[in-house]
């Protein structure tokens, strides 16, 4: 954390202090400000800094003897309005499919929340599913991968509750599901 210097804050506050009592015609006619007034107008700012370390984790995982479904939070895999996976996200996708049997059929389905047009959301979710599918095919070429985008269809949580926006629900609806059998 840092303390902002008095000169910096004074530079921001001083013009406001001078204008309050000013009835002069020009800058040269303004009353002089005392050291005390200047000192009282300066406040130390304490700016908090948070370290945000992204993590990649499964939201939900269900498995059978030879089948599995993994639901990944799209906000973790992709940046806002992005269609390219980060290296960490690609590594996670590769790791998830280590258990898939050779020759398995893998389905990748992308979803969005309902902000934006249906056409845009369908394209975005399709592009994101395709990006995940590309990573899977590169890591496990013996798997048969199909991808599709569903846009805002099939929400797992409401995008709105009681007529109000529901950010937590929207976040859960932005997802990529990977299934294999």
List pLDDT tens digits, range 140-151. 999 999 999 999
* Cα distance between residue 108 and residue 149, in whole Å: 8
> Quick one: pLDDT at residue 99?
86
Question: Can you say whether residue 63 is alpha, beta or left, with left for phi > 0 and alpha for psi between -120 and 50 degrees?
Answer: beta
Domain identity same for 91 and 152: yes
Q: What is the CATH number of the domain that holds 104?
A: 3.30.1330.60
Round to the nearest angstrom and report the end-to-end CA distance of the chain.
Answer: 52
Domain identity same for 77 and 154: yes
Question: How many separate domains does the chain show?
Answer: 2
> Quick one: pLDDT at residue 140?
97
> Quick one: pLDDT at residue 36?
73
* Cα distance between residue 1 and residue 19, in whole Å: 32
Strand bridging mode 105-110 / 144-149? parallel
Radius of gyration of the chain (CA): 27
Domain identity same for 16 and 86: no
Contact by Cβ (8 Å): 148, 45: no
Closest CA to 93 of 118, 113, 112, 76: 76
Domain ranges, residue 26: 6-41
State the chain's mean pLDDT as an integer.
77
List pLDDT tens digits, range 41-80. 555 544 444 443 444 444 344 444 346 889 988 888 888 7
Give yes or no for residue 8 having a pLDDT over 70.
no
Domain identity same for 33 and 84: no
Residue 26: burial class (beta carbons within 10 Å; 0-12, 13-18, 19+): exposed
Residue 50 lies in a domain: no
Is pTM beyond 0.75 here? no
């Amino acid at each position: 954390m840092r303390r902002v210097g008095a000169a910096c804050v004074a530079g921001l506050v001083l013009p406001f202090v001078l204008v309050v009592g000013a009835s002069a015609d020009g800058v040269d006619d303004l009353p002089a400000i005392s050291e005390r007034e200047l000192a009282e107008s300066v406040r130390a700012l304490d700016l908090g800094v948070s370290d945000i370390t992204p993590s990649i984790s499964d939201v939900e995982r269900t498995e059978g003897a030879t089948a599995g479904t993994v639901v990944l939070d799209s906000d973790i895999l992709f940046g806002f309005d992005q269609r390219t996976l980060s290296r960490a996200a690609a590594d996670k996708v590769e790791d998830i499919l280590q258990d898939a049997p050779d020759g398995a059929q893998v389905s990748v389905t992308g979803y969005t929340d309902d902000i934006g047009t249906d056409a845009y959301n369908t394209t975005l979710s399709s592009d994101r599913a395709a990006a995940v599918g590309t990573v899977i095919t590169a890591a496990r070429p013996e798997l048969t991968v199909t991808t599709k985008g569903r846009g805002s269809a099939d929400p797992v949580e409401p995008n709105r509750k009681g007529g109000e926006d529901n950010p937590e629900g929207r976040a859960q609806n932005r997802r990529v599901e990977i299934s294999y059998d």
